[in-house]
Amino acid sequence: MRVLVLAIGRLKNAESELAERYRKRAAQAGRALGLRDIEIVEIRESRAADIGKRRIEESIAIANMIPDGAVTVVLDEAGDNLASVALAEHIRTWRDEGRPAVAFVIGGADGLADSLRDGAKLKLAFGVATWPHQLVRIMLLEQIYRVTTILSGHPYHRA
């Protein structure tokens, strides 16, 4: 199963290096678990002046990157606060169901169109605090790495 992180905007050097470190770790650990690719896809921010139009343009660009049959997980401040073990169980289930991919979606500063958010299999939050999108991407990649350690029984995760 492929794991995609679809994100609006680009990371700066320091953030990019940390994100890539977790992506590589997750990819290495994930191979033995049937997670064949961990990919980050950066999508250009919309230049539209209207907030609603920006949301729609960015959501369309994201939707076009989601493979057929993929599970969509959106990062949303009103989403579920899941323990790492619970996220690992979701990914295990989707992998075992033969889903071709899971696409984690991080919208832009103005959020996502309702159609994309409402169509997601899971809405995921990292607590009630508001986080910068750059940090959310790094935290998500760390959690994906943690999921691989949980699924493989590695001691990185101490429940």
Residue-level pLDDT, tens digit, the chain, 159 residues: 999 999 999 999 889 999 999 999 999 999 999 998 899 999 999 999 999 999 999 999 999 999 999 999 999 988 999 999 999 999 999 999 999 999 999 999 899 999 999 999 999 999 988 888 889 999 999 999 999 999 998 766 554
Q: What is the CA radius of gyration of the chain?
A: 15
User: Is 116:63 a contact under the CB 8 Å cutoff?
Assistant: yes
Distance from chain centroid for Cα 76: 11
User: Is 36:2 a contact under the CB 8 Å cutoff?
Assistant: yes
SS3 46: coil
Question: Looking at residue 114, what is its pLDDT?
Answer: 95
Question: Looking at residue 144, what is its pLDDT?
Answer: 97
CATH superfamily, with its number, for domain 2-152: SPOUT methyltransferase, trefoil knot domain (3.40.1280.10)
User: Is 107:59 a contact under the CB 8 Å cutoff?
Assistant: yes
* Residue 54 burial by Cβ neighbours in a 10 Å radius (0-12, 13-18, 19+): buried
Distance CA 90, CA 96 (A): 10
Distance CA 134, CA 64 (A): 22
Question: Looking at residue 45, what is its pLDDT?
Answer: 94
Question: Looking at residue 133, what is its pLDDT?
Answer: 86
pTM score over 0.85: yes
Question: Looking at residue 116, what is its pLDDT?
Answer: 96
Question: Looking at residue 129, what is its pLDDT?
Answer: 87
User: Is 8:107 a contact under the CB 8 Å cutoff?
Assistant: yes
Question: Looking at residue 153, what is its pLDDT?
Answer: 87
Both tokens assigned to 100? 């071709």
